[in-house]
Amino acid sequence: MNGNSTLAAHRSQGMKAAQLLFPAYLWLVLAVFLPLSAMVFFSFVTEMPFTGKPWSMTVANYAAFFTTGIYAKLLLSSLRLAFEVTFWCVVLGFPAAYVLAKVLKGRSREAIFLLVILPFWSNGLVRVFSWAMVLRSGGILDTLLNAVLPFKVDIDLIYSYPAVIIGLVHSYVPYIVLTCYLSLQAIDDSVIEAARSLGASRFTVLRRLIIPLSLPGIVAGAVLVFVPVIGSFMEPRILGGRTGTFYGTVIEDQFVAVFNWPLGAALSFILLAVVLFILAAASPVMRRSA
Amino acid sequence: MSPLTRLLEVVGRLFVGLLLAFLYLPIVIMGLMSFNASPFYMLPIEWSTTWYVQLAGNAQLVDASLYSLKIALATALIATTLGTAASLALFRYEFKGKKILQALLLPPIAIPWLITGTAMLVFFFGVGIGRGLHALILGHVALALPYVIIVNNARLKTFAPELEEAARSLGANQWQVTRRVTLPWIAPSVVAGALFAFAVSFDQFVVSYFLATPGQTTLPVEIYAAIRKGFTPEINAVSTIIIVLSMALMLFTARFYKFGGND
Amino acid sequence: MASVEVRNLSRSFGTFKALDDVSISFEDGGFYALLGPSGSGKTTLLRLIAGFGYPDQGHIAIGGESVERVPLEKRNIGMVFQSYALFPNMNVFDNIAFGLDVRGVPREDAAREVRRALELVQLSELETRRPHQLSGGQRQRVALARAIVINPRVLLLDEPLGALDKALRLDMQVELKRIQREVGITTIFVTHDQEEALTMSDRIGILRAGQLVEEGAPEDIYRRPKTRFAATFLGEANIFEGIWTDGRLRLADGTLLETAPGAGRGATGEPGCCLIRPEQVRIAGENDGGTGNRLEGRITRRLFAGNWTTVFVDYQGKTIRVGQANTDFLKLEDGSKVTLAFSGSNTIPLQS
């Protein structure tokens, strides 16, 4: 008939696709993308509009971040927390993933893999809470250790920085195990054997083959840990007590205690910028795996 | 196998064992303590179910549980329906902007819930949606949708498009093709997606924390409030129930959906 | 059952012309093979007849009814896929019943039809098996039964035997042919296997780069191809190039080859080529005179393949294949001089 028919067929495909896609994406736009964009707007106002109070546009909320120094300092301490948690997660998670992928076989591998990622799908709040009980002074850990050890120990980690680290590592280490396991499993065993047959030592194989090949998995896992940890507020609150003031908890305060929503929005948006920067920086490495 | 290799393997297994201990120890202790009559967690354990009995009488926690359950069921239903439809479209059709649509699934997962939650609060407040049940469902479904779509897409990758073509060549219309050929194939991932959606909603604390009204909150928000007021053994009991249930749910999901593999 | 008419059909994918102005007719009840290398457009042609996508230009008629804008599910065709595409969630019976089911045929009538189809493909005892419990050949039969049970106007087969091993493939060729005769349905099947096309079909269409190069009965195409492409694609071929001189082909060394009359003959002075099949070439004794074309060459290699022997003869730097069911060849030695003889009537002029 004519050359337009292909185009028409293409368009009708698009129409059919649109019918199926529309509800889901409308929902995402309404509940995620519009809110995120709206937050930009609300971060530039003096008072929340629609409350009856007079309001105007301002950059004061961002000025507060850059001039007072307190928020920037908290952001830095959140970043430091995220680095430390990520570090420990990799240190614990990568070797475990390696053992799972290359040492264990068959059913025991399947079962242990499931056991490792299972907590990650259970309630995070409750898991953090369980640590609070273990770590507090006069808690289970003291009692148990004192029953075994001849000398008196007093473990009072609750409401301390290490407690926050322990809780967060506990929460996020399954991510690292999962992503590293997937990329380690993709490495053909014969590649490792070939390297060994060429005379490479175990350490050389690890350094020259295994780590470079599983790097996308490590980076993906690290990002999956790092990003939520910078924005964490529940874990520091429960396990950190007084020492648990981080960037996330300050944002929480703006919304539930101080009720300075515009400042909260500005602080959230700055955090979002940091997060997007990290995701963008890591994406070239992560894409290699895909 | 050389002795050194064997030694390294033993060390490796030991390491994984320690990691598992680290992951499960606090949960197990919490579970044990929920059966300890002493409110101060004194040892040795004095076995008792008193906290569970008290929990059953705690109207606030029971209410919050039912509220959470209601939201999670609604979320699972809506997210599974919308998400499965979207994943079928992404699988079936070629169109401009498909890559962008797929990329748009990542922000709800990758952006910290603190940011998403506060953004929802501000926006819903601004446009008059406010807080409460509808806001919670709106938010939870949005968080669950990407999981449903991603899980379905992974399963659809193993589906041969000729099966749909064959069904159509035999005279089946689009709906018959979907219902009789495609959906049976992706049934495991639809079920897994629904379970994920349920879990995302039922365990959701951060977003609920900002979107729930103070009078009527979800279980995790209620637990958080109780923890911040001080430890109570009842919270131990309810937490134990939650963790056992959510792990059982995930074990069930894993049976259905062999994370990425297929039988 | 119906004839299929294809007129001036074109289809592009982006800048790639998958089909370029193809016209061909398939008569009612015939068995047609579409043959060509990959990318030749044979599968595209089959899929357009089936209704997977619409042509950019041209017409398709099934049984005289124009269908190029009719969607696939309304065309009433039977299609067998290379992968068979059996529904994994249904057993053999339900797979075959599917097409009747979606047409709303009552369960009992459908069951009767399905049983008959199962009998036809000789799988009656396997109706409750699942696809993954079947062998490749059995799957193929189920796919066939599923396609013909809906009583389609045309049966379309996309490389139906491609996934089977060689022995099974020969069995299935016979089987497929038997079933097609029994049902009497117009059948079009796509293959890249020339032997399959030759043994099974009533007519063959050869495609290349989106165009129909040649069409005809298998024996005609094999014995008297019109084009160089068809000559070399279908079977083994010795091709001589030269200059036409009064209906004879003058080779580079001046030898004149007698050729059969045909459209491939060019006017005197034009370059051209002709075909001689290996089995039409004979190795003549030094002095056994005779008429026809005679060339002198030297044996370079002999290939024994049981019932067949191929001898490679070097003639002026060009290798000529001579094939015969004659083991006397084995007595010849590499390097020995031979005379090749073949008649002019078997030397076919080709259009290039």
What mean pLDDT comes out for the span A151-179? Answer: 84
What mean pLDDT comes out for the span B212-222? Answer: 88
ipTM of the modeled complex: 0.87
Q: What is the pLDDT of residue C23?
A: 93
Interior CA angle at B246 toward B245 and B251, to 5°?
Answer: 95
Q: Tell me whether strands C16-26 and C154-158 are parallel, antiparallel or unpaired.
A: unpaired
Query: Residue B261: is its pLDDT beyond 60?
Result: no
Is residue B201 within 8 Å of B140, Cβ to Cβ?
yes
Nearest alpha-carbon partner for B200 in A123, A114, A113: A123
Question: Is C53 within 8 Å of chain B by CB?
Answer: no
Q: Tell me whether strands C282-284 and C203-208 are parallel, antiparallel or unpaired.
A: unpaired
Q: Which of A23, A49, A100 lies nearest to residue B82, judging by beta carbons? A: A23
Please tell me whether residue C189 adopts helix, strand or coil conformation. Answer: strand
Q: What is the pLDDT of residue B257?
A: 64
User: At which residue do the structure tokens 């089995």 appear?
Assistant: C279
CA distances from C144 to A147, C50, C80, C135 (A): 76, 15, 6, 14
Query: In chain C, where does the domain assigned CATH 2.40.50.100 lie?
Result: 236-350
Question: Is A7 within 8 Å of chain C by CB?
Answer: no
- Split at pLDDT 50, 70, 90, the class of A109 is confident
Query: Residue B106: is its pLDDT beyond 50?
Result: yes
Classify burial at A201, counting beta carbons within 10 Å of its beta carbon; exposed 0-12, middle 13-18, buried 19 or more: exposed
Q: What is the pLDDT of residue A4?
A: 45
Q: Tell me whether strands C318-324 and C16-26 are parallel, antiparallel or unpaired.
A: unpaired
Tell me which H or E stretch contains B171.
none
Which residues, numbered 241 to 260 in chain B, qualify as contacts with chain A under a Cβ-Cβ cut-off of 8 Å?
242-243, 246-247, 250-251, 253-254, 260
Long-range CB pairs of B252-257 (<8 Å, 24+ gap) are: B252/B195, B253/A121, B253/B191, B253/B192, B253/B195, B253/B196, B254/A114, B256/B188, B256/B191, B256/B192, B256/B195, B257/B151, B257/B155, B257/B188, B257/B189, B257/B191, B257/B192
What mean pLDDT comes out for the span B9-23? Answer: 92
- Those residues whose C-beta lies under 8 Å from the C-beta of residue A129, and which sit 6 or more positions away, are A238, B30, B223, B227, B235, B239
**CA gap C204, C306 in Å, rounded:** 29
Contact B169 C146 (CB under 8 A): no
DSSP state of C278: G
Residues facing C169 on adjacent strands: none
- Split at pLDDT 50, 70, 90, the class of A7 is low
Chain A positions in Cβ-Cβ contact with residue B20 (cut-off 8 Å): 112, 115-116
Tell me which H or E stretch contains C312.
strand C309-315
- Those residues whose C-beta lies under 8 Å from the C-beta of residue B221, and which sit 6 or more positions away, are B64, B205, B208, B209, B212
What mean pLDDT comes out for the span B217-242? Answer: 84
CA C79 to chain B, closest CA, distance in angstroms equals: 7
Give the residue from chain B lying closest to A168, CA to CA. Answer: B23
Torsion of Cα atoms, C150 then C152 then C157 then C163, to 10°: 10
Chain B adjacent subunits, 3+ CB pairs under 8 A: A, C
For residue B59, count other CB atoms closer than 10 A to its CB.
8
**CA gap B153, C89 in Å, rounded:** 19
Contact B169 C103 (CB under 8 A): no
Interior CA angle at B254 toward B250 and B259, to 5°?
Answer: 120
- Those residues whose C-beta lies under 8 Å from the C-beta of residue A159, and which sit 6 or more positions away, are A239, A240, A241, A242, A243, A244
- Split at pLDDT 50, 70, 90, the class of B149 is very high
Give the residue from chain C lying closest to A13, CA to CA. Answer: C53
CA dihedral over A277, B150, A38, A229, signed as positive or negative? negative
Chain B positions in Cβ-Cβ contact with residue C110 (cut-off 8 Å): none
C-alpha gyration radius of chain A? 25
Q: Which of B166, B173, B176 lies nearest to residue C85, judging by beta carbons? A: B166
Half-sphere exposure in the Cβ direction for C149 (13 Å, CA): 34
Which residues, numbered 44 to 63 in chain C, qualify as contacts with chain A under a Cβ-Cβ cut-off of 8 Å?
53-57
Interior CA angle at B155 toward B149 and B156, to 5°?
Answer: 80
- Split at pLDDT 50, 70, 90, the class of A1 is very low
Give the residue from chain B lying closest to A100, CA to CA. Answer: B16
Contact C102 B168 (CB under 8 A): no
What mean pLDDT comes out for the span B160-177? Answer: 92
Please tell me whether residue B132 adopts helix, strand or coil conformation. Answer: coil
CA distances from C85 to A247, B169, C53, C132, C185 (A): 56, 11, 19, 12, 21
Residue B47, both tokens: 């076995």
Q: Hey, what CATH topology would domain C236-350 get?
A: OB fold (Dihydrolipoamide Acetyltransferase, E2P) (2.40.50)
Q: DSSP labels for B36-80?
A: BS-TT--SS--B--HHHHHHHH-HHHHHHHHHHHHHHHHHHHHHH
CA distances from C335 to C62, C253, C315, C317 (A): 59, 21, 12, 13
For residue C258, count other CB atoms closer than 10 A to its CB.
17
Chain B positions in Cβ-Cβ contact with residue A252 (cut-off 8 Å): 114
Q: DSSP labels for C101-147?
A: HHTT--HHHHHHHHHHHHHHTT-GGGTT--GGGS-HHHHHHHHHHHH
Contact C98 B172 (CB under 8 A): yes
Chain B positions in Cβ-Cβ contact with residue C103 (cut-off 8 Å): 171
Q: What is the pLDDT of residue B42?
A: 62
Residue C60 amino acid letter:
I
**CA gap B135, C139 in Å, rounded:** 52
Q: Which overall architecture, per CATH, does domain B58-256 show?
A: Orthogonal Bundle (1.10)
Nearest alpha-carbon partner for C10 in C68, C90, C84: C68
Which residues, numbered 119 to 178 in chain B, qualify as contacts with chain A under a Cβ-Cβ cut-off of 8 Å?
119-126, 128, 138-139, 141-142, 145-146, 149, 174
Contact A5 C54 (CB under 8 A): yes
Buried b (16+ CB within 10 A) or exposed e, A73-93: ebbeebbebbebbbebbbebb
- Those residues whose C-beta lies under 8 Å from the C-beta of residue A66, and which sit 6 or more positions away, are A72
- Domains (range + CATH), chain A: 70-287 (1.10.3720.10)
Superfamily of domain C4-223: P-loop containing nucleotide triphosphate hydrolases (3.40.50.300)
Give the residue from chain C lying closest to B171, CA to CA. Answer: C73
Chain C adjacent subunits, 3+ CB pairs under 8 A: A, B
Q: What is the pLDDT of residue A11?
A: 65
- Those residues whose C-beta lies under 8 Å from the C-beta of residue C9, and which sit 6 or more positions away, are C19, C21, C22, C23, C45, C48, C55, C57, C58, C59, C60
Please tell me whether residue C309 adopts helix, strand or coil conformation. Answer: strand
Contact B180 C98 (CB under 8 A): yes
Contact C56 A9 (CB under 8 A): no
Q: Which of C77, C83, C88 lies nearest to residue B169, judging by beta carbons? A: C77
Half-sphere exposure in the Cβ direction for A230 (13 Å, CA): 28
Query: Residue A286: is its pLDDT beyond 80?
Result: no
Query: Residue A159: is its pLDDT beyond 50?
Result: yes
Q: DSSP labels for B183-248?
A: HHHHHHHHHHHHHHHHHHHHT--HHHHHHS-SSS--HHHHHHHHHHH---HHHHHHHHHHHHHHHH
CA C38 to chain B, closest CA, distance in angstroms equals: 19
Least confident of A86-95, B62-71, C172-181: C172-181
Contact C146 B170 (CB under 8 A): yes
Q: What is the pLDDT of residue B29?
A: 84
CA distances from C48 to A36, A51, B32, C19, C29 (A): 47, 63, 68, 10, 20
Which residues, numbered 165 to 224 in chain B, qualify as contacts with chain C under a Cβ-Cβ cut-off of 8 Å?
165-173, 176, 180-181, 184-185
Long-range CB pairs of B177-182 (<8 Å, 24+ gap) are: B178/B88, B180/C87, B180/C98, B180/C102, B181/C87, B181/C89, B182/B88
Query: Residue B260: is its pLDDT beyond 70?
Result: no
Query: Residue B89: is its pLDDT beyond 70?
Result: yes
Q: Which of C12, C53, C57 lies nearest to residue A9, judging by beta carbons? A: C53
Question: Is A9 within 8 Å of chain C by CB?
Answer: yes
Q: Which of B82, B199, B227 lies nearest to residue A238, judging by beta carbons? A: B227
Chain A positions in Cβ-Cβ contact with residue C9 (cut-off 8 Å): none
A247-256 and A261-287 helices cross at what angle (nearest 10)?
Answer: 140
Question: Is C12 within 8 Å of chain A by CB?
Answer: yes
Is residue A178 within 8 Å of A170, Cβ to Cβ?
no
CA distances from C342 to A89, A182, C210, C223, C306 (A): 81, 66, 35, 14, 24
The answer to whether the peptide bond before residue B44 is cis (omega within 30 degrees of 0) is: yes
Is residue C273 within 8 Å of C249, Cβ to Cβ?
yes
Query: Residue A154: is its pLDDT beyond 90?
Result: no
Q: What is the pLDDT of residue A2?
A: 40
Give the residue from chain C lying closest to B166, CA to CA. Answer: C85
| Average pLDDT, consecutive stretches of 10 residues, N- to C-terminus, chain C (352 residues) | 88 89 92 91 92 90 89 90 91 94 92 93 90 91 93 91 82 88 92 88 93 93 92 90 90 88 84 91 72 87 83 90 75 83 90 79
Chain C positions in Cβ-Cβ contact with residue A3 (cut-off 8 Å): 56-57
Contact B165 C72 (CB under 8 A): yes
Query: In chain C, where does the domain assigned CATH 3.40.50.300 lie?
Result: 4-223
Chain B positions in Cβ-Cβ contact with residue C85 (cut-off 8 Å): 160, 162-163, 165-166
Chain B positions in Cβ-Cβ contact with residue C72 (cut-off 8 Å): 165, 168-169
**CA gap C67, C145 in Å, rounded:** 24
Chain C positions in Cβ-Cβ contact with residue B170 (cut-off 8 Å): 73, 98-99, 102, 146-147, 150
